[in-house]
Structure 1
Amino acid sequence: MLSSHKGRLFKLLQAGSALSCMVAMAGGVTQAQEQDQGEIVVTALKRNTRVQDTPIAITAVTGASLEAAGTSSFTELTRDTPSLRIVDGGPGNRRVILRGVTAAGEPTVGVYYDEAPVSGSVGTTSDAAGATPDFRIFDVERAEVLRGPQGTLYGSGSMGGTLRIIFNKPKTDKIEAAFASTMSAVEGGSMGASFDGMLNVPLIEDKLAIRIVGNATQVAGYVDNSYYGYKNINDPYTYGGRIMLRFTPTEALTLDLSANYEKAAGESPRWYAETGKRWTTDARSESGNYDTNRIYNATLNYDFGPVVLTAITTYTDRDRIVVGDVSDTFNGRDTAARCQTYRGNGAACSADVLADYLSDTRALLSSSLYQPQSVKNWLNEIRLSSTGDGPLNWTVGLFSEDRKTVVRSTLLKADPDTGFLYDPDDIANLAYDRTINDKLKQKAVFAEISYKLFDKLTLTAGARYYDYKKTVGGRIDMGQEHYASVVTPYTEAKSSEDGVLTKFNISYQATPDVMIYAQAAQGFRPGGVNQVIGLSAALAAYTSDSLWNYELGFKSKILPRTYLNMATYQIDWSNMQVSARTAGTGSVFGLISNVGAARIRGVEAEFSTEIAGISFSANGSYTDAKLTEDQVSTIVVASGRKGDRIANVPKWNFGGSAEYKHMLTDAMDAVIRTDVTYNGSSYSTISPTDTYRRRLDDYTLTNLRLGVQASDNNWGAHFFVNNLFNELAVVSSSSSSNTGGKTVVFTAPPRTYGINLTKKF
């Protein structure tokens, strides 16, 4: 159900693949060295530290490792990171979960591209966490996943942790270029292709350089619509890139400017379990996501010697249209009895009223929620950090955020013969129209100080003062009788809060190769105002929720290039933000409220080694996430009870990879690699008695890659098979009244074959 220009894009991708193939045969000129895992330098503490010297639970993956695994999205970091889970509803509709901290509302994991944090749209349910934007991963220096709350340095939205993608920066001393192309085919589905390119050019030697990165992808479709007989409907396209400038007028001053753009458009990969067939839907109207993201960032670093000044300003601009089939909501409502309910006030409808009601309702038997959304966010941070190897290290800073969101939610009719939506700009095609304005302003001051005693013992303390204000307003321009919604003028409500977060850490360097640390740290996310027009003022606002994370871990180097890191933790989460309904007769209002508490206990482990040409890594986690209080109050009655498991949190997760290289010639190696991910079972909602609760079975995904590449990684040609055993890997499963009780399913793609070609200059 996409426009015809996809065909032209596909031809472009094929041409790009052919170009990359010819480039790959040309040979290479640069030498790339594999980096020892323990020597990776990270900036998780907002200053440079080696990953093995950083006393927090952190997974760092180099760009070379990401490239070797064929990683193109942060969603694939789940195979490298313990306790990381992505509830995947397709591009632009992803919920990031770390250590089981997940609930409706603002994000519980901060997602950063370089120094730029991104956030989802609040939508109509105040659930920004479920709409995390996704930029393609190519030409990346490294990925960092910080597990556990990062409240003092990263602020709100990092309750469960922080995920950071660090891009390669422009180089002022040489010209560089890189290309990668992929052709793929999904078993039982369509063809796909992607093309990525990078060009780095010094404009003024050692002073100014530009780096340009671009991508275009045609996703292979595999979901069929049995109602209309359409095949492979979920074949969206994406394209985008970034332009980066680096200006270094002196050795002390560095100015980085960047503009990032990513567009994704197409039909959703969702399908219905009730069809009885894998990857098959019988939806009568469209579902999809049309998402455009822009990030503009300026970062200044000035090295004063003992102190580095960093100043950051970021503006994000996101436009998206979320489309979801709700045809089944109206099944069975086109009857005289329902007319009596909705239009007769309990009395039988007259013939004329009944005829009008039946006509209006049957027009909705092919319909979708059509929701244009706009998010504009301006963020600023300035900080000072110490440098050097002295016993005292510290960081202090200021932060501000000004986010404005506009959401329009309409019920749009579709052609019953094709399922294609009618023109949304024609008011005659709408059956509901609501607009919401959501504004969030935050400011904070933060500090973190570490002091080393006796060359082995280091004490760290941090604090962050935050202050936020939330304003939400809305109106209904066209009511909908089936939603019990009527035309309502614009109304507005506000909430505000301030507070202090703290962190305490002690680490002991027992030997040069063994570190032990203990930490207690807080995390929080802002509260807000419910976007329910007509809800009483007493119920509209909800406050922030927060947690304490108590953690004990160790990091060790067992043998050369062999590492074992472990952590165990307990999280106490109070004043939880939950989706609920108002108490009392009718329970008509859905809202977010503060009620209940949870305790999460877990263990995480990571292991990596390199022996005799084989690189091996493995990670695993156990997460026990349960409510410790009933989710019941004088305001709401939610479904969770003490002892219930938190939704979408499996108890067990494992990931691993093995790569073997064999020298064919002095300049060429053969390589074979396998990546395996196991995800345990979980449930879509908390309560075992919830009608809409669905079980997500456990699954194992296996990817295989083999090919040849230059010994210096300058070029490569690889054949791959993803989901080797064609596993039905359900990553998201849900049901609601909007689907008429049907089960909406999202899965990893079926078995996928492909060829990947890379070349670096």
Structure 2
Amino acid sequence: MKLTKLHCAVLTAIAASGSLYAEEAEKKENAKIEVIEVTATKRSASIQEVPVTVSALTGASLEKLGVANFDEYVEFLPNVVFQGTGPGQNEIYIRGAATTQTNISVSSVQALQPSVAFYLDEQPVSMQGRNLDVYATDVERVEVLPGPQGTLFGASSQSGTVRLITKKPSHDGFTAGFDTSTSSTQGGDLSNSVQAYFNMPVSDSVAIRVATYNDHQGGWIDNILNDPGNGGYIGSAEVISRVSGGALANPSTTAITSPNNAELVEDNFNTASYAGARFGLSYLINDEWELLIQHTQQSLDTEGVFAYDPNLEGETSTNRFMPENNNDDFGLTTWTLEGRLNQLDVVYTGGYLDRDISSTIDYTGYTNGGAFSAYYVCNYAGVPEAEQSCADPTKFYKENTSTSRITHELRANTSDQNRWRVTAGVFYDYQELATVGLFNIANTTLDGAYNFTNLERTLVGSDGINSDGGPFPSEISFVNDITHVIDQIAVFGQFEYDLTDTVTATLGARWYEIDDSFKGSTSTVDVSGRLQAFGDGSDAALTEFFGAGEAAAIQAAIANGQLDTSLLDDNGTLTVSDTIIKASLDWKVSKEILLFTSYSEGFRPPVTNRVGGGLAKNQAGAFDGFRIPVYSTTDSLDNVEVGFKSTLLDQKLRLNATAYFSKITDLQTSRFDPTNISFLVFTDNVGDSEITGVDGDFSWVATEDLIISGAFSIISSELTSVNDELVGIAPPVGSQLPYSAEFSGNLQAQYYYQLSDGLTGYVNGSVSYTGDRLGSMTMDAYVIEDATQLVYGTGSGLSIQREADVYSGVNYQDSDGQTFAGGRYIQDSYFLANLSFGVTNDEWKAEIFIDNLTNESATLYIDTQQFTPKVVSNRPRSIGFRFSYDFY
């Protein structure tokens, strides 16, 4: 059967943002948008009848939008944002529940747990700072469940859950197909991709499905020659001395060698390549039981960086001094056994994830911040003033991280036909993350360099790291060697009861217990010994590790409540357990309209600190008596929402909306304040916050040839309290949370027209808008701007929101002798537009597409990891051709 205009229109219905739509209609004259089945409540149900908010993209929608990886499809989900530094290095936030996460360079070592759970089918694959970047090929749909989903989906579902649902082997017959594309980016290199799949029943009871892909994405960022005379990296002894607390006697005349990147100059050096395959096998054991086994293998390799330096001319230029790369490989094997036992539908599902990450990161910018900068670059201790000098500050960081994760879940559902329905199950999750990070941050080329023996001690290892302390005869001067284990068990259940034929009440709960073990050491901290001493808590244990004087001070801090160690056992393992609940009420007003309201709870577990209990280096002002928390405590999110779902105008218009109010208690944040506290990052609880918002989406079959659809998100967030030690450092009470815009939304239109010979032509257009967002939880923008001015001789030109007259967390002054103001960078608003047009029949499709039609350079993220801002941006305008063919 040939595709009619309406078949094509409904097939792509909205794709983008709002709900999941039907993939066919009956006849032209009876055109209707039909819904499909989703599993948002771990039961299969029509999306319009599920009394929870669900926004998503179908596989057909993703294809029409021409998106395949995470950062692309998030643009079409207005209540979802991502922040990060490139492919495989992103964090997800939903409905404004965001805070500052640890920089990617040490996220494997010391980072907050995700607030949004990411699932591939039934398996959670979230990871702090580095969510699994699964290429979206042969995908059924992407489901987004905003708001706490902890009762059914666990710990990291604090503010929502994202689920990538793949297509499964079908027993209905042989199908196969491929999709290939090539495109050219303005000012950049060519990109090309190929995807293919086949599905084949091999017997009456066995079917297999294989999907494979290879996608090379050409670069557009140029690594230009460092030219100190033309806005390049000048390198200033003044900034080194300032952030080191005035270490150099006369920084204005102290010589410093500017780094040289001549051998690394390259146009379009930020490439990304995805390659992988998914294998699936379905076995129909009998009429009631089925076994599904799948394995996904993927490699993601990137070169260069995906951010430009705003202090350089243009929006595609950067100065990098070390070759940078990120190699991210994973294998995920999953299994699902489902069937019936008497009146119960039983599902057992499990998975094993093995992920390896290898990265090299330019760390030259570390020179620009931190009390220890002069130690790393200059000779000054005991050196005559006239002989003081600072060497080439070029530095690097190498990381190797191995992650394994095994999960099991057994659940049962009663019949959907009962007036009462129960979903109940048990869940087990074991994660182990082992990481070794090697830092080249210290200079060994200057005579009379400061002796580091008492400042840092490096680990003895087979890789040649020096074993006798400083002054760093090895190029590796600092090491992280950490193993992090999370062991979780949970029991969950949900009970639904039809109070009347149209009103249903639901109550859900989840009990969980999490053991968090954080072991290993850095060059300066024996993490295992430190936590064991805190866990033991006795005078003897604390004295043995810290010494008598410090042990007494720590005991006093524990006694007066400044330090909490109650969650640690004798081995230093952190254990937390609790029960969270969810309750809802829904009313089927008519066949076309559903109203619902709910209360739900979500949480993130505590995070252990490497340097917990440490006394701040600077004991003045806000830091007088400050000690780093042993761990950040659980932050919890309570959410109330009310919404409606409607299918109107004889199923030609779908309109859904939800209003919500969320309260976050003890909001976790990541902190890095090397000038005043510690040169190691740690986590803390900033205070409490509230979020109010509205989500909405619609899809309208305007004519038999035209479908218009869209979605929007309105968010108002504020800090309602700030912990005492963060006053003047964190934004003040009433400030907006970072990363989420007050308004964002998108619109799409699909128009179809008949051609001769049974062909159908089409035009697809989409536009998305994202409003201004604040760039972090720390008011350090003016401090970073000062470093930028000193290092490059110019400011960044980025927008800053001034939020405090005095940034009391920093103890150095500007040229007028005034303390720095407090402010945060603004990630400015942007519009993105895409256009495609093509021809299709029931077997093939040929399409020309233009992504980023207006060539907008969007500020997706402002990265301050280098102590000067770098702007992560989107790909410039790209024009390409796509062809696909399906065999039936």
TM-score norm. by structure 1 comes to: 0.86
Q: 1:754 aligns with which of 851, 860, 880?
A: 880
5+ residue gaps, structure 1, are 1-31, 121-127, 416-423, 478-484
What percentage of aligned pairs have identical amino acids?
Answer: 26
Structure 1: how far apart are the matches of 2:772 and 2:479? 38
C-alpha offsets along residues 70-94 of structure 1, whole Å, 9 cap, x if unaligned? 1212433334423111224221111
Structure 1: how far apart are the matches of 2:728 and 2:516? 25
* Residue 590 of structure 1: how far off its partner (Å): 3.3
Q: 2:319 aligns with which of 279, 282, 306?
A: 282
* Residue 387 of structure 1: how far off its partner (Å): 2.5
* Residue 429 of structure 1: how far off its partner (Å): 3.9
* Residue 323 of structure 1: how far off its partner (Å): 2.8
Taking structure 1 as reference, are residues 387 and 79 closer, same or farther at Cα in structure 2, changes over 3 Å only? farther
Structure 1: how far apart are the matches of 2:765 and 2:675? 55
Q: 1:495 aligns with which of 574, 587, 593?
A: 574
Q: 2:860 maps to what in 1?
A: 731
Q: 1:13 maps to what in 2?
A: none
Q: 1:9 maps to what in 2?
A: none
Cα RMSD after superposing both structures: 2.9
Structure 2: how far apart are the matches of 1:96 and 1:340? 35
- Given the alignment of the two structures, is residue 330 of structure 1 paired with residue 422 of structure 2, yes or no? no
Code of the residue aligned with 2:848 in structure 1: it is: F
Q: 2:640 maps to what in 1?
A: 550
Q: 1:575-614 alignment to 2 at 5 Å?
A: 575-580=666-671, 586=677, 590-610=681-701, 611-614=703-706
**CA contact under 8 A between 1:42 and 1:60: conserved in structure 2?**
no
**CA contact under 8 A between 2:669 and 2:777: conserved in structure 1?**
no
- Given the alignment of the two structures, is residue 531 of structure 1 paired with residue 610 of structure 2, yes or no? yes
**CA contact under 8 A between 2:371 and 2:676: conserved in structure 1?**
no
Q: 1:139 maps to what in 2?
A: 138
* Residue 538 of structure 1: how far off its partner (Å): 7.9
Q: 1:255 maps to what in 2?
A: 291
- Given the alignment of the two structures, is residue 698 of structure 1 paired with residue 824 of structure 2, yes or no? no
**CA contact under 8 A between 1:79 and 1:676: conserved in structure 2?**
no
Code of the residue aligned with 1:753 in structure 2: it is: I
C-alpha offsets along residues 21-52 of structure 1, whole Å, 9 cap, x if unaligned? xxxxxxxxxxx836965521100000011111
Q: 2:383 aligns with which of 348, 360, 363?
A: 348
Taking structure 1 as reference, are residues 665 and 304 closer, same or farther at Cα in structure 2, changes over 3 Å only? farther
Taking structure 1 as reference, are residues 487 and 508 closer, same or farther at Cα in structure 2, changes over 3 Å only? closer
* Residue 685 of structure 1: how far off its partner (Å): 1.5
Structure 2: how far apart are the matches of 1:514 and 1:324? 53
Residue 573 of structure 2: SS of its match in structure 1? strand
Q: 2:308 aligns with which of 268, 271, 296?
A: 271
- Given the alignment of the two structures, is residue 454 of structure 1 paired with residue 519 of structure 2, yes or no? no
Q: 1:221 aligns with which of 219, 236, 247?
A: 219
* Residue 703 of structure 1: how far off its partner (Å): 0.6
Structure 2: how far apart are the matches of 1:727 and 1:291? 29
Q: 1:228-243 alignment to 2 at 5 Å?
A: 228=262, 229-243=265-279
**CA contact under 8 A between 2:854 and 2:877: conserved in structure 1?**
yes
Taking structure 1 as reference, are residues 172 and 349 closer, same or farther at Cα in structure 2, changes over 3 Å only? farther
Q: 2:354 aligns with which of 317, 322, 330?
A: 317
C-alpha offsets along residues 582-620 of structure 1, whole Å, 9 cap, x if unaligned? 899655553112240000000111010122211211100
* Residue 450 of structure 1: how far off its partner (Å): 0.8
Structure 2: how far apart are the matches of 1:587 and 1:758? 55
Give 1 or 2: higher strand fraction: 1
Structure 1: how far apart are the matches of 2:601 and 2:677? 38
Q: 2:91 maps to what in 1?
A: 95
Residue 274 of structure 1: SS of its match in structure 2? coil
Q: 2:722 maps to what in 1?
A: 630
Code of the residue aligned with 1:83 in structure 2: it is: N
* Residue 339 of structure 1: how far off its partner (Å): 5.9
Structure 1: how far apart are the matches of 2:75 and 2:663? 27
Structure 1: how far apart are the matches of 2:885 and 2:464? 49
Q: 1:18-33 alignment to 2 at 5 Å?
A: 33=24
**CA contact under 8 A between 1:40 and 1:60: conserved in structure 2?**
no
* Residue 674 of structure 1: how far off its partner (Å): 0.8
5+ residue gaps, structure 2, are 1-22, 27-31, 102-111, 226-261, 444-461, 466-473, 532-571, 616-626, 785-823
Taking structure 1 as reference, are residues 679 and 350 closer, same or farther at Cα in structure 2, changes over 3 Å only? closer
Q: 1:146-185 alignment to 2 at 5 Å?
A: 146-185=145-184
* Residue 304 of structure 1: how far off its partner (Å): 3.4
TM-score norm. by structure 2 comes to: 0.74
* Residue 486 of structure 1: how far off its partner (Å): 7.7
Taking structure 1 as reference, are residues 39 and 68 closer, same or farther at Cα in structure 2, changes over 3 Å only? same
Q: 2:340 aligns with which of 303, 325, 329?
A: 303
Structure 2: how far apart are the matches of 1:376 and 1:230? 36
**CA contact under 8 A between 1:475 and 1:491: conserved in structure 2?**
no
Structure 2: how far apart are the matches of 1:329 and 1:643? 32
Q: 1:678 aligns with which of 766, 769, 784?
A: 769
Structure 2: how far apart are the matches of 1:577 and 1:283? 32
Structure 2: how far apart are the matches of 1:117 and 1:489? 28
Structure 2: how far apart are the matches of 1:220 and 1:340? 36
Structure 1: how far apart are the matches of 2:440 and 2:377? 23
Q: 1:407 maps to what in 2?
A: 435
Structure 2: how far apart are the matches of 1:666 and 1:465? 61
Structure 1: how far apart are the matches of 2:613 and 2:598? 45
Structure 2: how far apart are the matches of 1:448 and 1:743? 47
Residue 158 of structure 2: SS of its match in structure 1? coil
Q: 1:743 maps to what in 2?
A: 869
Structure 1: how far apart are the matches of 2:439 and 2:851? 38
Taking structure 1 as reference, are residues 75 and 339 closer, same or farther at Cα in structure 2, changes over 3 Å only? closer
- Given the alignment of the two structures, is residue 669 of structure 1 paired with residue 660 of structure 2, yes or no? no
Q: 2:665 maps to what in 1?
A: 574
Taking structure 1 as reference, are residues 137 and 414 closer, same or farther at Cα in structure 2, changes over 3 Å only? farther
Code of the residue aligned with 1:461 in structure 2: it is: L
**CA contact under 8 A between 2:518 and 2:527: conserved in structure 1?**
no
**CA contact under 8 A between 1:368 and 1:414: conserved in structure 2?**
no
Q: How many equivalent pairs are there?
A: 692
**CA contact under 8 A between 1:631 and 1:641: conserved in structure 2?**
no
Q: 1:618 aligns with which of 707, 710, 719?
A: 710
- Given the alignment of the two structures, is residue 116 of structure 1 paired with residue 123 of structure 2, yes or no? yes
Residue 68 of structure 1: SS of its match in structure 2? helix
Q: 1:372-521 alignment to 2 at 5 Å?
A: 372-412=400-440, 427=465, 428-477=474-523, 485=524, 492=531, 493-521=572-600
Structure 2: how far apart are the matches of 1:288 and 1:97? 25
* Residue 161 of structure 1: how far off its partner (Å): 0.8
Structure 1: how far apart are the matches of 2:164 and 2:375? 54
Taking structure 1 as reference, are residues 617 and 438 closer, same or farther at Cα in structure 2, changes over 3 Å only? same
Code of the residue aligned with 1:431 in structure 2: it is: S
**CA contact under 8 A between 2:527 and 2:611: conserved in structure 1?**
no
Structure 2: how far apart are the matches of 1:723 and 1:34? 31
* Residue 489 of structure 1: how far off its partner (Å): 8.6
Larger Rg: 2
* Residue 334 of structure 1: how far off its partner (Å): 14
Structure 1: how far apart are the matches of 2:342 and 2:397? 56
Residue 749 of structure 1: SS of its match in structure 2? coil
Structure 2: how far apart are the matches of 1:425 and 1:75? 37
Structure 2: how far apart are the matches of 1:548 and 1:280? 44
Structure 2: how far apart are the matches of 1:735 and 1:187? 27
C-alpha offsets along residues 519-574 of structure 1, whole Å, 9 cap, x if unaligned? 11001111121123884898222221111110010111121231000110000000
Taking structure 1 as reference, are residues 621 and 651 closer, same or farther at Cα in structure 2, changes over 3 Å only? same
Structure 2: how far apart are the matches of 1:569 and 1:334? 44
**CA contact under 8 A between 1:343 and 1:349: conserved in structure 2?**
no
Q: 2:630 maps to what in 1?
A: 540
* Residue 580 of structure 1: how far off its partner (Å): 3.1
Structure 2: how far apart are the matches of 1:138 and 1:583? 43
Q: 1:482 maps to what in 2?
A: none
* Residue 398 of structure 1: how far off its partner (Å): 0.3
**CA contact under 8 A between 1:225 and 1:231: conserved in structure 2?**
yes
**CA contact under 8 A between 1:313 and 1:380: conserved in structure 2?**
yes
Residue 721 of structure 2: SS of its match in structure 1? coil
Residue 629 of structure 1: SS of its match in structure 2? strand
Structure 2: how far apart are the matches of 1:333 and 1:587? 9
